[in-house]
Amino acid sequence: MMTTEATTDEAVADEAVAESPQVETVRYSNHVEVAEPLLTIEDLSVEFRTRTGVVKALENIHLNVYPEETVGLVGESGSGKSVLSYTIMNLLESSATITQGQIRYGQENLLSAGKPRDNRPHPAFSMIFQNPRTALNPIRPVGKQLMDVLREQGERHQLKKRAIDLLKQVRLPESRFQAYPFQLSGGMCQRVLIALALARSPRLLVADEPTTGLDVVTQETIMELLQGNTQNRMATILITHDLGLAARYCQRIVVMHAGHVVESAPTETLFRAARHPYTRKLIAATPGIITHLGQLSAIPGQLPDLRRKLPPCRYRHRCENYEAVCDTAPLVQTNLTPQHTLACWNPL
């Protein structure tokens, strides 16, 4: 049975879609789903060994990313977004274990049995990290860091010219070639990170909170740079807490909670017809989406301790839509439409 508050959240979400300029300006590319995804993740589970127990960070993750598509990965801190990105990039720390699942780039299985984990990303993948100042080498000029990446890619000629061209591509002048990271603003450092990522000519770009801590104008510049890059039919996974940002720039949004993908849908569908209680709560708790301050509501409870024994639905203890059927194991993903999937026994 749907609670009164759940009904209120539904009305708030509907009004947000109707009135919010962020949602009205959803930008669609000419992306058409082809027979073969660029990236396929099937039944992926990841655990971390700690002194206080095993953290079940990801469980049964399914995700497809298509060429030229921008997919938004959203959820609270601790929902598993960054862990998923590091798993894709082969950057998990030694305490992590991939207990099951597959990650495929085209037809290439990146988790083949016996394949050593060397903590080197696939050559076709690139990543923009959360904190640009810690991701950049503080004692090496940014231009030289770009040349290092180009050299690693096998380029041997006109490295300086190529590095300067990359700086100009992210709207930084040639004079910044010799600059050290401490001499640049946060926005400039973020642009350098984008240039470093693009220097690899990636097919897949993972952008982990690329606009965190930046002013609105700089945020817009950074996102336009990412959207404007069409080399290699590049796909982008945008990890963000900002649902308004995802609404503006993503063709599809994947919602994560406590290591589960709970809902995935085209952007407009998610805001107009979200079915998971957590998705509705996220929309109702997002200032950039809700048009009136009085509509904002907090998501009750906290994320579960992932070291403990967990119920099939990890949102169970926070959910106002809970019924006995929600304890049925395993929690399965349902295809509401070919593009709209849901992991919930009692959806709205």
CATH, residue 49: 3.40.50.300
In this predicted structure, what is the pLDDT of residue 246? Answer: 93
Q: Distance between CA 54 and CA 270 in Å, rounded? A: 33
**Neighbouring C-alpha atoms within 13 Å toward the C-beta of 169:** 21
For the chain, where are the alpha helices, taking DSSP H only?
4-19, 21-24, 81-88, 132-135, 142-152, 159-169, 186-198, 216-228, 243-249, 267-273, 277-284
pLDDT score for 69 = 93
268/240 same-domain check: yes
My answer on whether omega of the bond before 311 falls inside 30° of 0, hence cis, is no
Summarised one tens digit per residue, pLDDT across range 155-212 is 888 999 999 999 998 889 999 999 999 999 988 998 999 999 999 999 999 999 988 7
Q: Supply φ then ψ for residue 181, to 5 degrees.
A: -55, -35
**Same domain, yes or no: 163 and 208:** no
**What confidence score (pLDDT) does residue 24 get?**
35
Q: Are residues 276 and 169 in the same domain?
A: no
Shared domain for 117 and 162, answered yes or no, is: no
**Are 80 and 208 in a shared domain?**
yes
Q: State the DSSP H helix or E strand holding residue 261, giving kind and residue range, or none if neither.
A: strand 260-266
Residue 140 lies in a domain: yes
Q: Which residues contact 70 (CB under 8 A, 6 or more apart)?
A: 29, 226, 227, 235, 236, 238, 249, 250, 251, 252
Residue 50 lies in a domain: yes
pLDDT at 35: 59
Is 283 a domain residue? Answer: yes
Q: Answer whether residue 347 is part of any domain.
A: no
Q: What is the pLDDT of residue 12?
A: 45
Whether 173 is in a domain gets the answer: yes
pLDDT of residue 284: 87
264 and 325 assigned to the same domain: yes
Q: Quote the pLDDT of residue 241.
A: 87
- How far apart are the C-alpha atoms of 263 and 283, rounded to whole Å? 13
pLDDT of residue 113: 55
CA distance 142 to 144: 5
Query: Is residue 46 domain-shared with residue 105, that is, in the same domain?
Result: yes
Reduced to 3 states (helix: H, G, I; strand: E, B; else coil), residue 252 is strand
Blockwise average pLDDT, block size 10, the chain, 348 residues: 42 46 39 72 96 96 95 95 95 93 94 69 92 91 96 88 92 95 92 92 93 80 80 89 90 97 97 95 80 77 94 95 94 94 96
**Is 91 found in the same domain as 74?**
yes
Q: In 10 A of CB 1, how many CB atoms? A: 6
Tell me: do 242 and 98 sit in the same domain.
yes
Does the pTM surpass 0.75? The reply is: yes
Quick check: is 348 in a domain? no
Q: The domain containing residue 146 runs over which residues? A: 131-201
The count of structural domains within the chain is 2
